[in-house]
Amino acid sequence: MKKLGWFSFFLVFFASCLDDPDCYQLHNDFVGFTFRVMGTGKGDSVVVKNSGSGLYEKQPSFLYRVNYFEEGATVNFVGPQITNFLKFGYTVKNQFISEDCGSAFVLSGLGVVAHDFDSARVVNATPSKGGGTNIEIYRCPETDILTIDFNQLNATSDGVIITNKTSGYVSHQFDSITTDFSGLVFTGRATTVNLPVDTTKNETTFKFKTGGEEDSIVVGYNLVTEQRYKPCGIQTFVNELAIKGKHSFDSISFGLNANDDPARTLEDPHIANLRVFECPRTNVMQVDFKSNGAPKTVTMTSITGDHFEGNYLKGPETSPFIQLEVDLESDNSTFYIEYDNGSIDTLSVAYTRTDLTLFAACPDRVINALTESPDLPNVAIIPNGTVLRYPAVPNVEITVD
């Protein structure tokens, strides 16, 4: 009873000293956790439920505030599929700070008592006042995951020279990505995908389906089976990645590891082992619709032409512009644009297919010297739009009533 009375007195006293800014955060009652991957020791991110919001969040680390009236705590890490726990202990001492601030609880001797993670260790046995890492939590590495990212190539040309060669991540909607040993492994939109490889043989075939198109790649590799980390047991590691035979992508290269060498080994945390590049389209012409010199939104019901079959549109399209693909096998193209009021505009253009290609892996030639053929009163070539670019820029204006 005396002990309870003393604690009650201390709580009232401590609350009164919070008004003094010099007495703020007297107690070192925060324990910091950081997630890492075994072997490399690199930082990891774990999806756990936020106790405040109730939402699952990807966290590389977090702080846990302990109860300094206890000498230990158990933290539950609630994930979307599994819940882990870690129990730790510590010692608590009461220390006099000053006459103004009184006493504070000082925590030390932090130690892990029990857990169900792959591994955990204390790196700082003294809890903090609000920052830093005390306990590192390790998981065994995933050894069979190949990472591929998708990139769009781009460059600028005036029809004479090529400049500003760049590449950037591009998002793709995949109807399916399958392997030859496990079937469907991914569907959805992504710029980067993590795909399993077959650790029972030395190659895996991947197929990528989008719309009516399918791309494929065969990846070969070497397998090493051994125990590198005691908590993980015997694992199979994958190295010496190689692209076997022909692939159907525009271009593929290896990503780079931390040493700027080709990433021919599967690592965790995952890095891009393969980079898939998509060539820029050099035959895209943008047509803007105008009325009295201002942009005009129109509804197009059909676009037909001599160099493609059927309707260029999947359905009626309402827009102040349209992007059309000219014929790469000819020096002229004709389009018939039908509007929702039944009227039709005929757009005929001529152009020069230069000897320039934007990239060595991209065979389509740069197109310039765009002109009307024949010249129509409601059609005009934009002066700075005579070269077709990617992403497309305005090349032609059609004046509509």
Task: Answer whether 0.85 is exceeded by the pTM.
Answer: no
Around Cβ 80, how many Cβ atoms within 10 Å?
A: 9
Q: 3-class DSSP state for residue 97?
A: strand
Instruction: Indicate the burial class of 194 (C-beta count within 10 angstroms; 0-12, 13-18, 19 or more).
Output: middle
Please tell me the distance from the alpha carbon of residue 264 to that of residue 260, in angstroms, as a whole number: 11
Average pLDDT estimate for 46-61: 87
Q: What is the predicted pLDDT for the residue at 360?
A: 92
pLDDT band at 14 (very low <50, low <70, confident <90, very high): very low
Above 90 in pLDDT, residue 102? no
- Residue written as token pair 């969040």: 57
Please tell me the distance from the alpha carbon of residue 42 to that of residue 138, in angstroms, as a whole number: 10
91-100, 278-287, 321-330, range with the lowest pLDDT:
91-100
Q: Which H, E and C letters describe 252-312, residue by residue?
A: EEECECCCCCECCCCCCCCCCCEEEEECCCCCEEEEEEEECCEECCEEEEEEEECCCCCCC
Q: What is the predicted pLDDT for the residue at 143?
A: 97
Please tell me the distance from the alpha carbon of residue 203 to that of residue 243, in angstroms, as a whole number: 9
The mean predicted confidence, pLDDT, of the chain is 91
- Residue written as token pair 């079959």: 309
